[in-house]
């Protein structure tokens, strides 16, 4: 099968090459998915799991991309709940070969049915950003209706999902980003926008929840804005600050069939919009994933256009 592989961590995405690889087999509880569309997170080249298996052994050449939408092509021994021919989407294991390939092996429990009226391109854009937003707001952040949420990077892949879900849930959303992100952030449901490069973050006032995708100084300053009992939710690594009388949580998203279903339902009925930028084929994926200028929205690779 055709697949994009990486072998050299220092080379980053520039080291991606399109090669022929053996098709994966379905291990116990796996399915093999014929990939129709694949999503890639630009920071994957920094994740240890891109380079080693769970025991820390080199696993290169590895196939990046961990969001998939496709069709079940084979079912492993003991696999229940999904059948051959079924449309599915979800997140694949960080430590195994990913979705920038014609086929991927994935544990069935990490996939959910993809409704027939949600296209594969949209399906591949949802799992990581949608589930990260859902879990950060509702599980780790314990969001309540009426609370104020400060969403960093609100025009990004995760941020647009966070903004929409928090807004739908009845929260007051203040989004942040760069000057050019203002209108997009407001269009996705934020009530206010702070341009982090030209305006004071402290203008946000007191908030109940900070959803941080940036880290560093932005995160430290944000922690001071959190009311007693509030939460700093980070997805960019362990936090070195904790809000006074509050919690700081850093987490890594997990696939969840029921939550994927909630997200798909919201796409179907228009409560949620996805944030796709460029769309490319697998043959053009290396160039598309190495843009020469800043891209807006998520790049999706249509493996079976
Ligand atoms: N732990 C987890 O489970 C998990 C899950 C998903 C994502 N993540 C992480 O979350 C981060 C965001 O992911 P994403 O897919 O949402 O990325 P993205 O689509 O690039 O969104 C990030 C947004 O934040 C903006 N931004 C970044 N730094 C900024 C700064 N200093 N000032 C103003 N705006 C800034 C970006 O603008 P520019 O494009 O102009 O820089 C972009 O609009 C990544 O580090 C990713 O690895 C973690």
Structure tokens at 189: 């449901």
Residues of the chain with CATH 3.90.180.10: 2-125+274-302
**Superfamily of structural domain 2-125+274-302:** Medium-chain alcohol dehydrogenases, catalytic domain (3.90.180.10)
The C-alpha atoms of residue 298 and residue 219 are separated, in whole angstroms, by: 23
Residue 65: pLDDT band with limits 50, 70, 90: very high
- Does 79 have pLDDT greater than 90? yes
pLDDT, position 128? 98
pLDDT, position 295? 84
pLDDT, position 296? 87
Q: What is the pLDDT of residues 192-251, one digit of tens each?
A: 999 999 999 999 999 999 999 999 999 999 999 999 999 999 999 999 999 999 999 999
Q: Is the CB of 180 under 6 A from ligand 1?
A: no
| Mutation probe of ligand 1 site: the residue of 65, 213, 289, 296 with most atoms within 8 A of C-beta | 213
Q: What would the 3-class secondary structure string for the chain be?
A: CEEEEECCHHHHHHHCEEEECCCCCCCCCEEEEEEEEEECCHHHHHCHHHCECCCCCECCCECCCCEEEEEEEEECCCCCCCCCCCEEEEECCCCCCCCCECEEEEEHHHEEECCCCCCHHHHHHCHHHHHHHHHHHHHHCCCCCCCEEEECCCCCHHHHHHHHHHHHCCCEEEEEECHHHHHHHHHCCCCEEEECCCCCHHHHCCEEEEEECCCHHHHHHHHCCEEEEEEEEECCCCCCCCCCCCEEEECCCCCCHHHHHHHHHHHHHCCCCCCEEEEEECCCHHHHCCCCCCCCCEEEEECCC
Q: Whose CA is nearest to atom 13 of ligand 1?
A: 158
The C-alpha atoms of residue 128 and residue 254 are separated, in whole angstroms, by: 8
Second-level CATH architecture of 129-250:
3-Layer(aba) Sandwich (3.40)
Q: Is the CB of 294 under 6 A from ligand 1?
A: yes
Residue 294: pLDDT band with limits 50, 70, 90: confident
Q: What is the pLDDT of residues 157-168, one digit of tens each?
A: 999 999 999 999
Closest-CA residue to 108 (of 33, 173, 45): 33
Residues of the chain with CATH 3.40.50.720: 129-250
pLDDT, position 196? 98
Q: Whose CA is nearest to atom 11 of ligand 1?
A: 213
Query: Nearest 5 degrees, angle CA 206-CA 210-CA 213?
Result: 145
Mean pLDDT (the chain) is: 97
Pairing, β 30-39 against β 17-20: unpaired
pLDDT, position 1? 98
Q: What is the pLDDT of residues 18-41, one digit of tens each?
A: 999 999 999 999 999 999 999 999
Is-cis flag, bond preceding 61, omega within 30? yes
Of the chain, the percentage scoring pLDDT greater than 70 comes to 100
243 or 295, greater pLDDT: 243
Q: Is the CB of 155 under 6 A from ligand 1?
A: yes
Q: Is the CB of 252 under 6 A from ligand 1?
A: yes
- In the block, residue with structure tokens 């996939």: 111
| Mutation probe of ligand 1 site: the residue of 48, 156, 215, 293 with most atoms within 8 A of C-beta | 156
pLDDT, position 305? 86
pLDDT, position 17? 98
The C-alpha atoms of residue 201 and residue 204 are separated, in whole angstroms, by: 6
Angle formed by the axes of helices 257-269 and 127-134, nearest 10°? 100
Q: What is the pLDDT of residues 89-147, one digit of tens each?
A: 999 999 999 999 999 999 999 999 999 999 999 999 999 999 999 999 999 999 999 99
């Amino acid at each position: 099968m055709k697949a994009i592989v990486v072998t050299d961590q220092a080379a980053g995405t520039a080291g991606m090459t399109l090669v022929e690889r053996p098709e994966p087999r379905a291990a116990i509880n796996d399915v093999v998915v014929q990939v129709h569309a694949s999503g890639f997170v630009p920071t994957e080249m920094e994740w240890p799991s891109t380079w080693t298996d769970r025991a820390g052994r080199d696993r290169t050449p590895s196939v990046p991309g961990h969001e998939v939408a496709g069709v079940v092509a084979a079912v492993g021994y003991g696999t229940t709940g999904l059948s051959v021919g079924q449309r599915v989407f979800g997140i694949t294991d960080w430590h195994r070969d990913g979705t920038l390939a014609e086929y991927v092996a994935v544990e069935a429990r990490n996939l959910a049915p993809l409704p027939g009226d949600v296209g594969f391109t949209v399906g591949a854009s949802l799992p990581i950003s949608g589930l990260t937003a859902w879990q950060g707001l509702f599980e780790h952040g314990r969001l309540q209706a009426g609370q104020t949420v400060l969403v960093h990077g609100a025009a990004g892949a995760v941020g647009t999902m966070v903004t929409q879900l928090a807004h739908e849930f009845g929260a007051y959303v203040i989004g942040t980003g760069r000057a050019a992100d203002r209108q997009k952030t407001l269009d996705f449901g934020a009530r206010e926008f702070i341009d982090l490069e030209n305006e004071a973050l402290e203008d946000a006032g007191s908030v109940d929840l900070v959803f941080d995708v940036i880290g560093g100084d932005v995160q430290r300053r944000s922690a001071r804005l959190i009311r007693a009992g509030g939460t700093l939710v980070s997805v960019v690594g362990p936090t070195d600050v904790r809000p006074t009388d509050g919690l700081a949580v850093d987490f890594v998203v997990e696939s969840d069939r029921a939550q994927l279903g909630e997200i798909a339902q919201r796409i179907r009925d228009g409560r949620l919009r996805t944030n796709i930028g460029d769309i490319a084929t697998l043959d053009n994926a290396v160039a598309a994933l190495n843009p020469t200028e800043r891209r807006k929205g998520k790049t999706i690779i249509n493996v079976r256009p």
